[in-house]
Amino acid sequence: MSIKDFTPDLPTLLEAFELRLREVVRSEVEFVRLIEEDLVTAGGKRVRPRLVFLASNALGGVPYAMELALAVELLHSASLLHDDLVDDAETRRGKEAAFRKYGNAVSVLSGDYLLSRLMALLAQTGRMELVAMFAETARQLSEAEVLQFQVAALHDYSLENYERIIDGKTASVMRVACEGAAVLGDAPPAEREALARFGSFYGQAFQMRDDYLDLMGTAEVLGKPAGGDVREGKVTLITLRLLEAYPEEVGAIFKRRAAKPGDIARLQELAVRSGADLEVTEAIAARVDRAIAALRALPHSAYRDELEALARRELVRIK
């Protein structure tokens, strides 16, 4: 199958995506269905499928873009289901975390179910290189998630660990979304490399923005209280800087996991006063610039512009 000569626009693709997703995850087991309804089909921003479709269209359309988009979203959804145990998150995509309703067990096993559907989709593409790429992405993702847990448990905070974590848990998935499209389209090496680089830098910027908003965002906009990462013992770029600048005070806040009222407000205040706030904004902007620069290797198109706009949004995103 080739759809090289037929590239539907983004809204059409995303609409078709929702229908296919429901089909792909449908299970005969009732408890699996409950989880899927909650977490998979209830929405989300579909950032990763969007990346696949834009990358595909920027290359003039590639075969099996839909299967790739589904596979990438399933990897992300499975990781959320397995990560809820880690995060102990109160809310996820505005819904009560699934595991609170049905138990950790069903969440984990339903995540495994999604991974099995992902493998089936990859097999459908007939491209073993894509299977190998997903294997590598899944490895990076799981190792980064464990590393995040390890760092929190051992207080092993460092910029190096932070960068390994965001690269593994977010950038790697964004990368396979973009580079996977290039593989399916047999794109020339320079275009493949451009998309891989775009996915990596965009993914880093995306996670850094999420982490920034976790501390500096407002509860009303976020839909959850600020400071969740600190309460879980997770250090991000902004709190790393604060730990360096105010080792005693911020160290104490981390040690008690921001249990004292006013702890989070105090961290926000210190972030602004010390300039850590702006420093992180700059670090995000640097990634956005590199992501956009990478796109230059692709022929100009409306889709390339949309990829650029997606990256630029990380400079101003507030939720």
Count CA within 13 A, CB hemisphere, residue 192. Answer: 11
Residue whose CB is less far from a second copy, 10 or 109: 109
Amino acid at 25: V
Number of residues that bind a second copy (CB under 8 A): 47
Residue whose CB is less far from a second copy, 119 or 283: 119
By CB under 8 A, the residues from 120 to 139 that bind a second copy are 120, 122-123, 126, 128, 131-132, 134-139
Among 38, 67, 73, 145, binds a second copy (CB under 8 A): 145
Residue whose CB is less far from a second copy, 128 or 219: 128
* CA pair distance 245, 83, nearest whole angstrom: 31
Among 119, 213, 283, 297, binds a second copy (CB under 8 A): 119
Among 1, 19, 153, 316, binds a second copy (CB under 8 A): 153
Residue whose CB is less far from a second copy, 138 or 196: 138
Q: State the Cα torsion 124-127-129-132 to the nearest 10°.
A: 20
Among 3, 10, 14, 112, binds a second copy (CB under 8 A): 112
Closest CA to 236 of 253, 259, 214: 214
- Unique residue bearing structure tokens 């960068």: 163
* CA pair distance 265, 229, nearest whole angstrom: 14
Question: Would you state the structure tokens that stand for residue 315, as one six-digit string?
Answer: 């400079």
* CA pair distance 197, 195, nearest whole angstrom: 5
Among 10, 14, 16, 109, binds a second copy (CB under 8 A): 109
Residue 183 interacts with a second copy (CB under 8 A)? no
Closest distance to a second copy from the beta carbon of 131 (Å): 5
Residue whose CB is less far from a second copy, 13 or 75: 75
How many C-beta neighbours within 10 Å does residue 285 have? 14
Among 105, 221, 302, 309, binds a second copy (CB under 8 A): 105
Residue whose CB is less far from a second copy, 152 or 264: 152
* CA pair distance 153, 150, nearest whole angstrom: 5
* CA pair distance 308, 255, nearest whole angstrom: 40
Question: Would you state the structure tokens that stand for residue 263, as one six-digit string?
Answer: 């702890």
Given the rule CB under 8 A, which residues bind a second copy?
27-32, 78-79, 82, 85-86, 103-106, 108-110, 112-113, 115-120, 122-123, 126, 128, 131-132, 134-139, 141-143, 145-147, 149-150, 153
